[in-house]
């Protein structure tokens, strides 16, 4: 079951994907408490990270030193990528992940993320620079390719392995698919056959059934869950329990769910400050209430409320009667 990652092992082989604006420290901590082999930070743009105001960098990666945390970096030039990797390791990061999979136009427009799959020689220079800059395991996250005419994930993964990358995560779509259609888990098998390092399947994995199917079709060594964890921070532990026999999580329902969501909300207020925290938390509160089938008027009231104390007062009413199957 464990995934070897240099001197480390990932147990269980169920990982939390990096999601911009979502996998911040409060959410990673919550997912970790339920159970996850590895949680990955939100993507850090190397250039912006290096020129950030004092205190901003520490805020961005507070928690990097936590044992099961990987810090993801992105960029388009080797030197800033290498320096960003060195600095996050100095902050305590145990694993550094290189983003070559983000499909967002604001990222690919700057020749970062999945745009690098169009220039594999340059992508390899970035990989080599990061691997040579740090003494912790370096991993790589990509898509199948830029589009269907250029599915080069297997070749890039093989070259990355030669450069010293210790694990590869593949989202089963091309960049030009964005999140449309369904992830092609079977296509990940070509990457698995090309390398000896662990390969992790990503894309549309939302529960144990989809995780099992992704593993069967891809031959991958583990799975990475992204959007499936939104509003369900316990889902990684559920998958691990069913597929690998780890202890089943105690999934909160009713008043226990309300208590957990309130605690998550308060953690976000502490992390970001009350005003920003209240705004950032709304997406999470919305996902929780969607699963709980909260009545639309109450849901709207909570998501537009500006006073944290009032949000905390309303949340138990919104979630305490959540149906078990929705939780």
| Catalytic machinery residues | 102
CA proximity to 202, closest of 18, 31, 1, 26: 18
37: DSSP letter: S
Structure tokens at 284: 């999470």
Spatial neighbors of 185 by CB under 8 A, at least 6 apart, are 172, 201, 203, 213, 214, 217, 218, 220
Spatial neighbors of 140 by CB under 8 A, at least 6 apart, are 97, 98, 100, 127, 156, 157, 160, 165, 167, 168, 169
The CA-CA-CA angle for residues 42, 9, 218, to 5°, reads 75
User: Per the annotation, does 286 bind a ligand?
Assistant: no
User: Per the annotation, does 141 bind a ligand?
Assistant: yes
Q: What is the DSSP string of 164-209?
A: T--EEEEESS-GGGTT-S---GGGHHHHHHH-SS-EEEESS--SHH
User: Per the annotation, does 171 bind a ligand?
Assistant: yes
Spatial neighbors of 120 by CB under 8 A, at least 6 apart, are 152, 155, 156, 159
- Residue 226: how many CA atoms within 13 Å on its side-chain side? 20
User: Per the annotation, does 173 bind a ligand?
Assistant: no
Is residue 24 classed as helix, strand or coil in its secondary structure? coil
User: Per the annotation, does 159 bind a ligand?
Assistant: no
Query: Which residues sit in the known binding site?
Result: 72, 141, 171, 226-227
Positions at the binding site for FMN: 72, 141, 171, 226-227
């Amino acid at each position: 079951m464990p995934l070897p990652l240099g001197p480390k092992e990932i147990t269980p082989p169920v990982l939390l994907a990096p999601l911009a604006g979502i996998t911040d420290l409060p959410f990673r901590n919550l997912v970790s408490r339920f159970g996850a082999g590895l949680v990955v930070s939100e993507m850090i743009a190397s250039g912006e990270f290096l020129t950030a105001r004092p205190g901003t960098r520490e805020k961005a990666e507070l928690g990097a030193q936590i044992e099961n945390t990987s810090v993801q970096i992105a960029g388009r030039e080797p030197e800033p990528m290498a320096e960003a990797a060195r600095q996050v390791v100095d902050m305590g990061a145990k694993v550094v992940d290189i983003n070559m999979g983000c499909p967002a136009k604001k990222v690919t427009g700057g020749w970062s993320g999945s745009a690098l799959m169009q220039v594999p020689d340059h992508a390899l220079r970035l990989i080599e620079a990061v691997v040579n800059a740090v003494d912790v395991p370096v991993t790589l996250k990509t898509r199948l390719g830029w589009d269907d005419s250029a599915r080069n994930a297997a070749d890039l993964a093989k070259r990355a392995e030669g450069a010293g990358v210790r694990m590869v995560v593949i989202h089963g779509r091309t960049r030009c698919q964005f999140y449309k259609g369904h992830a092609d888990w079977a296509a990940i098998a070509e990457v698995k056959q090309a390398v000896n390092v662990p390969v992790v399947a990503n894309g549309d994995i939302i529960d144990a059934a989809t995780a099992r199917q992704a593993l069967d079709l891809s031959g991958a060594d583990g799975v990475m869950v992204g959007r499936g964890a939104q509003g369900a921070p316990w889902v990684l532990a559920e998958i691990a329990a069913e597929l690998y026999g780890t202890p089943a999580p105690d999934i909160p329902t009713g008043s226990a769910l309300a208590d957990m969501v309130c605690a998550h909300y308060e953690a976000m207020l502490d992390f970001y400050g009350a005003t920003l925290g209240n705004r950032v938390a709304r997406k999470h509160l919305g996902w929780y209430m969607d699963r709980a089938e909260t009545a639309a008027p109450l849901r709207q009231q909570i998501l537009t409320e500006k006073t944290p104390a009032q949000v905390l007062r309303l949340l138990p009413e919104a979630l305490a009667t959540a149906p078990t199957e929705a939780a």
